[in-house]
Structure 1
């Protein structure tokens, strides 16, 4: 029997809603704290839309590297749109309730988009390896069709591997406590509220994380080991620096994404005594900082993106006149 109410006598219980929270201990300052969050969201939305616009409108950017960058921009936009309503809702209006099914849906898409971002970063590392190690074969290896197939494979892997998560959570019985640790829904956070045995959830979550994001990170590291071996064999120092310079923006994007993600995973699994504020700040860093920084990183480090942006601004100013 399903009871929507207090937990009684071991009966199956699912709460109608969960309670989300903002930044613990700083609730009175939420309106002020919302200002930098709004700025980050605006930067992320406008920056990633700008990247997509420039890639679409600039024929010289119709290359594998920039196709993968457009995938990264779409993924970052998805992450921003997943967390923005609940985060700003609690900062602006103190809206703390999120429906049970809505929470599972948000959680599912947050994890899917995170896994997609990890896979896209791996694809970008592969692109850099081919471009540096086999420059003459690069156009024939990474054709537009191949890039499309890689994109579809990335999407399917994330969707299929994470499909069981909501169902594994729906089968659990929950206790009276319904308060989550963040202003968004996260799988480890939800399952800790259950009264039932969560070994299956823990095991499945760990297997999926290691076999997807974990493997992606290992292959990214291996790609750069091979890239550095190739670069070392180049004749001149200038050639070495030129080859490595094409990887700087990608390396920054990898570090910005994986460092907070690994930190958040470690806190949820091993940091039982970690301060709640640390947990919250790492979670926000993981979900908000990469979408905001990636467009800036690529705009600064990619001369082609900068040139396309300057041409677009120039055309805009000429049309205004």
Structure 2
């Protein structure tokens, strides 16, 4: 038997975006800009919510602060390695590091899906039962729901990881993506993965698709329950940012995970969208049309003393 077919794979090689060093150097600058913007935007939202007593006491903004934290974690799972690989022609990643990246990718990603679903429920209660909103969405319930999101993400990711590490890897080691994910990794296994693929598609695909259906149903119910045009206009204004985030996050995830593990030429670009771009855009989407958040940010800026120093210069 051939040696390459009997030795276990100890490292994988990640696919780059280009074979040209100059192109990769340009992409390094672009993605570094995206990553810095992701950190600045999401940290600013977390600081704003934590420093403003009104926002911090509101279930909506408490959940938004947690979403920003998840966005930071999600982007950090893949982007630092991607940036390093832009400057490294080899683009190697050890087997153990690959599995760890895969685990945290699904851990944080699933937790964010569940949190977005919780945020949809929060908007439903706020719009359809406004008089009981603070009673229903108490801080205790919000904390329980946050823990449930993280727990659900952990269980989902554990299942995905166990199914992956049980496969034998003894031959090809070129992962057709810029990070380790279940679909491109299990294609490299040295055994029949048909059953494993079905289990994983039913797992990841079911979570993303069912969560998306619940979210859309929630907003449809809100619009049906509200009779007046003015009320619907306000509801759309309130939920519009959330719907945009949901579309940007769930659309690519459903495309990647809710189908058989066959490769398409656009898979890599779709992965960039939900791994790098969406975590960067979320702070902008939630703040540009939100007067309360913008007002709290101005107060935070004034309290920081930076505005005063700028005027004195």
| Distance in 1 between residues matched to 2:79 and 2:90, nearest whole Å | 13
Which of 35, 38, 46 does residue 44 from structure 1 map onto? 38
Other-structure match for 1:89? 84
Matches within 5 A, 1:1-321: 6-8=4-6, 13-24=7-18, 28-62=22-56, 63-231=58-226, 233-234=227-228, 237-265=229-257, 269=260, 271-272=262-263, 274-275=264-265, 278-315=266-303, 316-320=305-309, 321=312
Cα deviation, 1:116-148, whole Å, max 9, x if unaligned, reads 111111111111111110000111100000000
Listed as ranges, the gaps of 5+ residues in structure 2 are: none
Answer yes or no: is the 8 Å Cα contact 1:89–1:95 preserved in 2: no
Deviation at 1:314, TM superposition (A): 2.4
Q: Under a length normalisation based on structure 1, what TM-score does the superposition of the two structures give?
A: 0.90
Deviation at 1:162, TM superposition (A): 2.2
Cα deviation, 1:171-195, whole Å, max 9, x if unaligned, reads 2222421011112100111000011
Cα deviation, 1:273-313, whole Å, max 9, x if unaligned, reads x33xx221111112111100000111102111111111122
Answer yes or no: is the 8 Å Cα contact 2:112–2:149 preserved in 1: no
Answer yes or no: is the 8 Å Cα contact 2:208–2:253 preserved in 1: no
* Count of residue correspondences: 306
| Distance in 2 between residues matched to 1:201 and 1:22, nearest whole Å | 27
| Distance in 2 between residues matched to 1:164 and 1:227, nearest whole Å | 34
Q: Under a length normalisation based on structure 2, what TM-score does the superposition of the two structures give?
A: 0.92
CA RMSD of aligned residues (A): 1.8
Residue 4 of structure 2 aligns to a residue whose secondary structure is: coil
| Distance in 1 between residues matched to 2:23 and 2:138, nearest whole Å | 51
| Distance in 2 between residues matched to 1:156 and 1:76, nearest whole Å | 17
Question: Structure 1's 271 and 189: CA in aligned 2 closer, same or farther, altered over 3 A?
Answer: closer
| Distance in 2 between residues matched to 1:198 and 1:26, nearest whole Å | 34
Cα deviation, 1:241-290, whole Å, max 9, x if unaligned, reads 22221111101111111122223336x73654x33xx2211111121111
